Structure 1
Amino acid sequence: MKKLTSSIIGGIAGAVALNILHQAVKEFLHEAPRVDLVGEEALSKGMETAGIEPPTGDQLFAATMAADLLSNAVYYSLIGFGKKKQLPWIGAVSGMAAGVGALTLTKPLGLSDAPVNRKTATKIMTVAWYTFGGVVAGSIIKVLRKK
């Protein structure tokens, strides 16, 4: 499969896997990261800054999920620029970097960091979930390149 196509498909797969994991675990563990809340805050503030009335409730959640899936898919697609044999490792490192970014960039961006930094377990899960998404993306890209 062509490099660009496999990268896009892998990026989407990684983003979907990440979001399914986030949404599933938050239902069972109080310590689970709530990146969705950070995303809702970012989307609302951004829209308000642009003079647009942000959605609320389910519409805000849906818009945030769409933006999150798109941005993570684009980010994870970049893994495909690496060497084929190393793609899962590149995915792991890229995912880890995204997880660390989620922990450290909230405050500088003027967002609440409580949803991702409230407990040590929350921080570990945040990095682990993004790493998982990166490994999924890298692995899918590698498999698709074999075809």
Structure 2
Amino acid sequence: MLLVINDHKSLGLLQQEFSSNYPFLKLSFYDKPHGILEATEKSHQLSARMLVREVRNLHHSGTLTINPDDTVYSIERAFRDRFNLNVQVCRRNTFGWVQTSGSDLVTLGEQNEIGRTAVEKKSPGTRNDFLDDEY
């Protein structure tokens, strides 16, 4: 997939575009960076309503190519290095969303499949709306 990043998009729109290709994953944006295999505290999470220009100092546009065989960490690193955006990939689990920080070296395709399996095992009547839940 190609994800176009520019100052006029909201973080929520980037989340939606990413999740349209990886329905059991989502991007969460933060006001501070993290290292490999590190989680980010929820208190640093940014609102999906914010525009890209509001959360970064570098204001160049570009396209990020994201493939199922990319690792979570490689995508998180590309967001930071190329676009000055701090991102955690989160995966759907049985109860909501979890940061994939402990499995940063797993591919997006594998993470998405893990999420799919978790959702399929959910009991009937539980919510599955990624914009309503937070990790």
Taking structure 2 as the reference length, the TM-score comes to 0.29
Rg comparison, structure with higher value: 1
Q: Report 1 or 2 for greater relative contact order, CA contacts < 8 Å, sequence distance ≥ 6.
A: 1
Taking structure 1 as the reference length, the TM-score comes to 0.28
